[in-house]
């Protein structure tokens, strides 16, 4: 009898490598503006040897950013393709209503509510940290955000493609 091996499937996203000039400064910015905190169980990586990552999380350690300090061995390479995070409607609304602040659009201008992107199935913001690493914040509670945030706050969202493409796909 032949035993069939299970097909390999990639697991959940664990962490993303992010390069910054100063890990402590970056960790403080991520904590203040995006709610990240250091993951204590991985602290030995940041303190035990030169060049190790400082692991930070905003969801209790399920998904992390690994902050690597730029050096000659690890040059400053911006995460330009973007890392996307998803939040619920309450967090998305709170984030939007706190704008403008110290968070910047990828262009360098302050992020404002009218930078919200309408993807037909979700709402999103594209933004960058102070070192040019790009992120996307998504909320898939489309109808709730439309009714409780977009309309009441008079937000004019950005569209990357015509709504008709989505409607034709329905």
**Which residues in 82-116 are b (16+ Cβ under 10 Å) and which e?**
eeeeebebeebbebbeebeeebbbeeeeebebebb
d(CA 29, CA 156): 28
Every domain of the chain and the residues it spans: 14-74, 78-170
pLDDT tens for each residue of 99-129: 998 999 999 999 999 999 999 999 999 999 9
pLDDT tens for each residue of 128-145: 999 999 999 999 999 999
Determine contact, residues 55/39, Cβ cutoff 8 Å: yes
Q: Locate tokens 């939007």: which residue?
A: 96
Residue 62: CB partners within 8 Å, gap ≥ 6?
Answer: 12
β-strands 54-57, 64-69: how paired? Answer: antiparallel
Q: Could you give the 3-state DSSP secondary structure of residue 154?
A: coil
CATH architecture of 14-74: 2-Layer Sandwich (3.30)
Identify the DSSP state of 2. Answer: P
Confidence at residue 112, expressed as pLDDT on a 0 to 100 scale: 97
pLDDT tens for each residue of 24-76: 999 999 999 999 999 999 998 888 888 889 999 999 999 999 999 988 888 88
φ, ψ for residue 123, nearest 5 deg: -110, 150
pTM of the model: 0.86
φ, ψ for residue 135, nearest 5 deg: -140, 160
Token pair in block for residue 93: 């609304």
């Amino acid at each position: 009898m032949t035993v069939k091996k299970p097909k390999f499937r990639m697991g959940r996203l664990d962490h993303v490598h992010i390069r910054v000039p100063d890990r402590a400064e970056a960790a403080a910015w991520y904590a203040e503006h995006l709610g990240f905190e250091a993951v204590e169980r991985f602290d030995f990586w940041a303190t035990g040897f030169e060049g190790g990552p400082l692991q930070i999380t905003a969801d209790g350690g399920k998904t992390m950013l690994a902050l690597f300090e730029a050096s000659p061995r690890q040059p400053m390479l911006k995460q330009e393709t973007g890392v996307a995070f998803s939040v619920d409607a309450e967090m998305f609304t709170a984030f939007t209503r706190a704008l403008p602040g110290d968070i910047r659009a990828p262009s360098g201008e302050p992020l404002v509510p009218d930078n919200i992107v309408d993807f037909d199935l979700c709402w999103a913001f594209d933004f960058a940290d102070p070192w040019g690493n790009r992120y996307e914040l998504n909320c898939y509670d489309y109808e709730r955000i439309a009714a409780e945030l977009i309309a009441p706050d008079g937000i004019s969202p950005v569209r990357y493609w015509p709504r008709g493409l989505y409607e034709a796909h329905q």
